[in-house]
Amino acid sequence: MTMTINRRTMLIGTGAIALGAAFHTKARAAEYTYKFANNLQASHPLNIRLNEATAKILEETSGRLQINVFPSSQLGNDTETLSQLRSGAVEFFSLSPLILSTLVPNAAISGVGFAFPDYKSVWAAMDGELGAYARKQIEDKGLVPMDKIWDNGFRQITSGSKPINTPDDLKGFKIRTPPGQLWTTMFQTLGSAPATINFAEVYTALSTGQVDGQENPLAIASTAKLYEVQKHCAITNHMWDGFWFLANKRAWENLPEDIREVVAKNLNAYADLQRADTEELNKTVRTELEGLGMTFTDPDPQAFRQVLIDGGFYAQWKEKFGEEAWTALEKAANADLG
Ligand code: X2X
């Protein structure tokens, strides 16, 4: 009873102050306000889970760190945003290992064509030695990668003019590929005519006919509405792709240790949820895309892989990546890649 009265009295007594404090907390800018840029639509699982993670980070740092997410390349295309990340104009950025290879050449190792047969081997590799190798390469270039890579998915080829059934159908095919030498060489070896275009410009490039096709996981064909400008899709699963979560080093080190821990803990924990969502979406969205008018083909991936072998793709990249990276990849993929 006494307790209740005391507490009640106290609450009444401090009511005005408490209200003032609450208002103050709301109105006050966070101690640290950071930007997180990415190239995906707000509806993609990456952004949905990232928004949950940043809300959690705000809460667990008692409002000290506010991370504002900028989806859809709002702050610039990937090439521009990578330089902003390096200069510190942007504090966080999620980027494909292959695009990152424009700065960190061997980060692309996880994107070698047809290396991973399934998600199980992908996550074992990226949470294991291959991922650790890539993160070390990234750190050596002065960026801070979070431990867990987020999922983009296995990539499929879409086209506007014709269905792709065999590697022959790729001969002379004008296809958009993201910035990154591995992509360009892969599609050149397949006999097509790749054009390097940032994701921010892909929808326009397809709708104006600058290119006839592109390649991306189905979750992106859906969330970026590529079905509006692409008619066909070939399930090639020609490479797995993910998003390293990267921080500018100075911005990262400016955060007190306890805040850094909260950020890393949450971005890594939400990676697991995002991986599950994206894998599920990539599996189920085909039906939705068919409903929206896309037609699908299921070519034999081995045929495409053989063209890459015969064209010296693996031999060339084994030499470029070097023994250490290549051995790590073969070990992770449990395969002799040539
Ligand atoms: O640019 C692409 O195609 C995308 C969205 O998949 C990447 O970020 C690599």
pLDDT tens readout for residues 79-94: 999 999 999 999 999 9
Q: How far is the CA of 71 from the centre of ligand 1 (A)?
A: 13
Cβ–ligand 1 distance for 214 under 6 Å, the answer no
Strands (E), the chain: 32-37, 65-70, 92-95, 143-145, 150-154, 156-159, 174-177, 193-196, 213-216, 232-234, 240-248, 295-297
Predicted pLDDT at 172: 98
pLDDT beyond 80 at 9 = no
* Domains of the chain by start residue, with CATH: 7-333 (3.40.190.170)
Pairing of strands 143-145, 174-177: unpaired
pLDDT beyond 90 at 160 = yes
Q: How far is the CA of 276 from the centre of ligand 1 (A)?
A: 19
Predicted pLDDT at 16: 42
Mutating to test ligand 1, I would choose from 220, 223, 238 the residue with most ligand atoms within 8 A of its C-beta, which is 220
Cβ–ligand 1 distance for 199 under 6 Å, the answer yes
| DSSP letter string, 76-98 | --HHHHHHHHHHTSSSEEEE-HH
First vs last Cα of the chain: how many Å apart?
79
Cβ–ligand 1 distance for 101 under 6 Å, the answer no
Atom of ligand 1 nearest to the CA of 214: 3
- Mean pLDDT in residue range 188-200: 98
**Atom 1 of ligand 1 has which residue's CA nearest to it?**
199
| DSSP letter string, 132-182 | HHHHHHHHHTTEEE-SSPEEEEE-EEEESSS---SGGGGTT-EEEE-S-HH
Cβ–ligand 1 distance for 158 under 6 Å, the answer no
Cβ–ligand 1 distance for 130 under 6 Å, the answer no
pLDDT beyond 80 at 21 = no
Cβ–ligand 1 distance for 216 under 6 Å, the answer yes
Provide the β-strand partners of residue 151. 242
199 vs 258: CA distance, rounded Å: 35
- Mean pLDDT in residue range 50-64: 98
Query: What's this model's pTM, rounded to 2 decimal places?
Result: 0.92
Q: What tens digit of pLDDT does each residue of 262-299 get?
A: 999 999 999 999 999 999 999 899 999 999 999 999 99
**Atom 5 of ligand 1 has which residue's CA nearest to it?**
199
Mutating to test ligand 1, I would choose from 38, 46, 99 the residue with most ligand atoms within 8 A of its C-beta, which is 99
